[in-house]
Structure 1
Amino acid sequence: MISHLDQLFIGALRPLPPEGQMTGIYKSPIDRPVGVGAEGLVGDFQGDRRVHGGSEKAVHHYPAEHYTRLAQRFPHRAVMLQPGTLGENLSTRGWTEETVCIGDVFRVGSALLQLSQPRSPCWKIDHRLDAEGASLFVAHEGITGWYYRVREGGAIAPGDAIELVERPNPDLSVATYWRATLEHRPEPAKLRAMAAAAGLAPDKAQRLAERAAWLESHPAGS
């Protein structure tokens, strides 16, 4: 699997209307190589480091084709629904949550990135788009995008090839993972198998294992 990086985005911190929380969701396109290390792209920032950024969410990838679906659902925001709007760093076409898997390792430019987890949409998407229900739509439709950890630092530039070099979990697409997390009562064995997936972010693995244990101790109908 080989694709190409259509656009590359980074952003400084800016206030998010209407309350003015500082956020890194506002990104600008970059037309030159940018260094990437364990914490992400040089010059890219996150406002709330408790839930954004860090080594397990170092780089955010969002499929450009999802913006068409968002524009259809929120036509009053169609003009602004272009790549970069949801705070992603990498924008491509052709790869979606259905075709990439937890733990996938990609060579992008001279860097090596590993897919660690889906993005969990939050209220900031509603505020960024000024569209109530946008984050829920993203979640329910499974058009979340995903995060990478940086296995090897390097430089990334628009137009770089993105090559899949390792796939440890071919049966665990991001879409499969996401749908399982949305199930009301998923099978505990399925959650434990997902928790053991190579490359999954450790906090997500722990959460899956804890949920499996809770489901086992609280059987349906009890």
Structure 2
Amino acid sequence: MALPSLSLGLDAVLTGRPALLAPGVTSAMGKVPVAGPVRIGWLGLEGDTVADPVHHGGHDKAVHLVPQEHYGWWREAIGSHDLLTRPGAFGENLATRGATEVDLCLGDRFELGTSLLEISHGRQPCSKLNHRFGRNDVLAKAVASGRCGLYLRVLREGDVQAGEPMTLVARPHPDWPVARIFALLIGGGHKRDPAGVAALARMPVLAEAWRGRAEALAR
């Protein structure tokens, strides 16, 4: 199959550090755009840290991407909100345009600046989304819609900058868009496609945490 021509626009590159999100809740979800070049290392963007290293960060979660196409849907779903007026509402490192989880596949490789990134899995949202937006329904809407973004691992360190193209250079698994994987492993669709879940459990490119989940669901 020929490699599709796909280049994502990069609205912003964002980093953040842990801060109090709500009483007793600390998160680094409050990320802000960085001007100029930013270094991407094996574990993510320079200057970006996580509050909960048990559940966040690491090689499989080095970079978090959220398609900015989702913002319009969110404004319809929950109404106007200050967080939805600019990139970073969902704690993303890369605010992109040009494709969503329906179009982006597991194992897709992208050149961005001098770096090389690979899609490792989708994002499994947590209750901190509710705290961030000050509503108790954001997490549920994120899971139900699958509009959660995705994670990339770093295959080649490099420098990136907002405004640069993020260009697809390899697509080894065109049958596995992130939306399909999310629906099977997080959205409750595993009973409808047990063969698909079993296949995911055997795919080394899938992040270890989600591969373990696929193994458990396939039993």
Q: Same fold (TM over 0.5)?
A: yes
Q: For residue 105 of structure 2, what is the amino acid of its counterpart?
A: C
Q: Residues 190 and 197 of structure 2 are in contact (CA less than 8 Å); yes or no, is this contact kept in structure 1?
A: no
Per the alignment, residue 184 of structure 2 pairs with: 180
Instruction: Give the aligned partner of residue 29 of structure 1.
Output: 33
Is 1:80 the counterpart of 2:86? The answer is: no
Query: CA offsets, 1:26-77, max 9 Å, x none?
Result: 01111111101111000001101111111110000001121111111111x5
SS of residue paired to 1:62: strand
Rounded to whole Å, the distance in 2 between the matches of 1:146 and 1:98 is: 11
Cα RMSD (Å): 1.3
CA contact (8 A) 1:121 1:136 kept: no
144-153 vs 80-89, which moves further:
80-89
Aligned equivalents of 2:190, 2:196: Cα separation in 1: 13
Residue in structure 1 matching 2:169, options 156, 160, 165? 165
> What code does the residue aligned with 2:189 have?
E
The aligned counterpart of 1:206 is: 212
| Greater Cα offset, 183-192 or 106-115 | 183-192
Q: Percent identity?
A: 36
- State TM-score, norm by structure 1: 0.91
1:110–1:155: 8 Å Cα contact kept in structure 2?
yes
Which has the higher mean CA deviation after the structures are superposed, 173-182 or 183-192?
Answer: 183-192
Residues 134-187 of structure 1, C-alpha deviations (whole Å, 9 max, x = no match): 011011001010001101101110011101111111000001111122226233
Is 2:121 the partner of 1:117?
Answer: yes
The Cα of 1:78 is off from its aligned counterpart by: 2.4
User: Which ranges of structure 2 fall in alignment gaps of 5 or more residues?
Assistant: 1-5
List runs of 5+ in structure 1 lacking aligned partners: 214-222
- Contact kept? 2:38, 2:160, Cα under 8 Å: yes
* Contact 2:17/2:51 (<8 A) preserved: no
Length, aligned pairs only: 211
- Answering whether residue 72 of structure 2 is matched by residue 68 of structure 1, we say yes
Three-state SS of the structure 2 residue aligned to 1:5 is: strand
The aligned counterpart of 2:9 is 4
Are 1:169 and 1:197, in contact at CA under 8 Å, matched by a contact in 2? no
TM-score, length-normalised on structure 2? 0.92
Q: Greater CA radius of gyration, 1 or 2? A: 1
Q: Alignment partner of 1:85: what SS? A: coil
Q: What is the 5 A alignment of 1:32-43?
A: 32-43=36-47
> What SS does the corresponding residue of 2:180 show, helix, strand or coil?
helix
